[in-house]
Structure 1
Amino acid sequence: MLSEPMINRLNEQINLEMLSSHLYLQMSSWCAYKALDGCSALLSQHADEEMAHMRRLIDYLQETGGLALVGGMQAPPKEFNSLQEMFEKVYAHEQFITSKINDLVHLANTEPDYATLQFLQWYVAEQHQEEFFFKSILDKITLIGLEDRGLFWIDREIAALAASGSKEVTAIESTPQI
């Protein structure tokens, strides 16, 4: 059985994962509105992934006798000054989520709650991958730039990343080149 502090922190993480999903879904919509189809597809996929992270936490709470609590939240931001600013916010958000996962790991380690500690290792590895992934997108934006046709090329690069992660986005690859 989980301790009350662990149940509370896992519930907090459930709601942070839901917030992440909503944030990326809103960003996906902003990108679609700006005709950045590749970025929109990638962020939509990422929103689904974050929802899966939330469900994984809910399942763990239920398996261990805890009550999952899904709360309300504020709407995520809907406007961004640039694609770079938006991805900087994604990267900062992922760093924040990593810090929250690390707090959970610390709690599991100090209680000690070895089952939860083992469960959380997947999230530790996932957060490392996500930070690396979004940092690489920011690096591509810096390398290519957003002037002239840079925005077009960035969107194509991100479309390729999205296509490699899901079959739903393969139509983007077959779009005629300009």
Structure 2
Amino acid sequence: MKLSTKMKKALNDQILLEASATNSYLAMASWCEVTGYQGAADYFYAQSDEERTHMLKIVRYLNALGTIATVPATKSPSSSYKSLEVLINTALKNEQAVTKAIHNMVEIAQKEKDHSTYVFLEWFVNEQVQEETKFETILQKFDLLGRDKLGINEIDKFLAAEAAAPTEPAA
């Protein structure tokens, strides 16, 4: 199967987005760990690993089609945050940008009648619904539990439990 130039570029751009997300979540985990949010640190270390898995899925898809994937350099992510809530909000915005890029690739696949890539991208579409919902749910906890030390401690415990939960199966 031959991919169009436009689809190759979109998939390689997505590799960059996923690599950037991996690094961003790693920086967030580091900030959380140093700041004393061990549950959040564990959560974001796991998120970083998950984003790397997403990146590898795309690399392997391109390779399976005989197209060498472009492994990008990434910009250094922010390593300082005003609060845990600001950090979570940043993560949600990053996921929303990834969702937009995936939807763009789906539109390209539809226009080009690239059924194989369309089917490949369905997994990412569903994954992004889960990703955005996760961060929206965490942000709701600030309203439910509060922004005082006890509320934030409970949110950190929630994130620790989420980090310990089984992760997505490798597909």
Same fold (TM over 0.5): yes
Deviation of 1:142 (Å): 1.8
Deviation of 1:72 (Å): 1.1
Once residues 84 and 164 of structure 1 are traced to their aligned partners in structure 2, the CA distance between those partners, rounded to angstroms, is 21
Partner of 2:106: 105
Q: What amino acid does structure 1 have at the position aligned with 2:98?
A: I
What does 1:101-140 align with in structure 2 at a 5 Å threshold? 101-140=102-141
Deviation of 1:159 (Å): 0.8
Q: What amino acid does structure 2 have at the position aligned with 1:131?
A: E
The worse-fitting range, judged by mean Cα deviation, of 148-157 and 116-125 is: 148-157
Partner of 2:92: 91
> Larger Cα Rg: Structure 1 or Structure 2?
1
Please state if 1:66 is matched with 2:59. no
Q: What amino acid does structure 1 have at the position aligned with 2:78?
A: P
Deviation of 1:148 (Å): 3.4
Once residues 158 and 74 of structure 1 are traced to their aligned partners in structure 2, the CA distance between those partners, rounded to angstroms, is 27
SS, match of residue 66 in structure 2: coil
Q: TM-score by structure 2 length?
A: 0.95
The worse-fitting range, judged by mean Cα deviation, of 141-150 and 54-63 is: 141-150
In structure 2, stretches of 5+ residues that fail to align are none
Partner of 2:34: 33
The alignment yields a C-alpha RMSD, in angstroms, of: 0.9
Once residues 159 and 130 of structure 1 are traced to their aligned partners in structure 2, the CA distance between those partners, rounded to angstroms, is 17
- Asked if the contact 2:15–2:72 (Cα under 8 Å) also holds between the matched residues in 1, the reply is no
Once residues 112 and 157 of structure 1 are traced to their aligned partners in structure 2, the CA distance between those partners, rounded to angstroms, is 43
Once residues 141 and 80 of structure 1 are traced to their aligned partners in structure 2, the CA distance between those partners, rounded to angstroms, is 16
Structure 1 residues 18-61: Cα deviation after superposition (integer angstroms, max 9, x where no partner)? 00000000000000001100000000001000000000000000
Alignment coverage as a number of residue pairs: 166
In structure 1, stretches of 5+ residues that fail to align are 167-178
